[in-house]
Amino acid sequence: MIACVDSPVGRLTLTEQDGAITALEWRDEDAPPESDLMQRAAGELAAYFAGNLTRFTLPLAPRGSDFQRAFYRVLRAIPYGETRTYGDLATELGVSAQAIGQACGANPIPVLIPCHRVLSSTGLGGFSGAGGVETKVALLKLEGAASLLL
């Protein structure tokens, strides 16, 4: 089941399977949130973009390798308005910074799993969502992390 919600960073399409969110993509479709989970997800996203929610409580089931799933748990632990570097996370997980970058790019549920909070040691790094780095900056500004960008 999918549901689409409008946001300041574009139309977001959520995928639900077996009672959990499995994907968030930038796609322009027309699918209102019909299930209880999708209605809850739409509400939490609206509250997040309004600046009234700092931690998502939705059940998430990202697909990926054991390493990727461990990485997504670490990402979800980064507090709202804070960032970490690829190197910080590489040290924490005992892998290379490149592996962290690749795992960020493979994140199937961006925004809800906040890969936008991961920066390079010398700048922003990338962002795989629609709009690329501009969307990453918009999300960081929303969270009050813009001072980290200067």
Distance CA 78, CA 144 (A): 14
Q: Following DSSP, what letter does each residue of 82-94 receive, concatenated?
A: --EEHHHHHHHHT
Closest CA to 10 of 32, 31, 25, 20: 25
Convert 78-116 to b/e letters by CB count within 10 Å (16 or more is b).
beeeebbbbebbbeeeebebebbbebbebbbbbbbbbbb
Q: How many CB atoms lie within 10 A of CB 45?
A: 22
Active-site residue numbers? 115
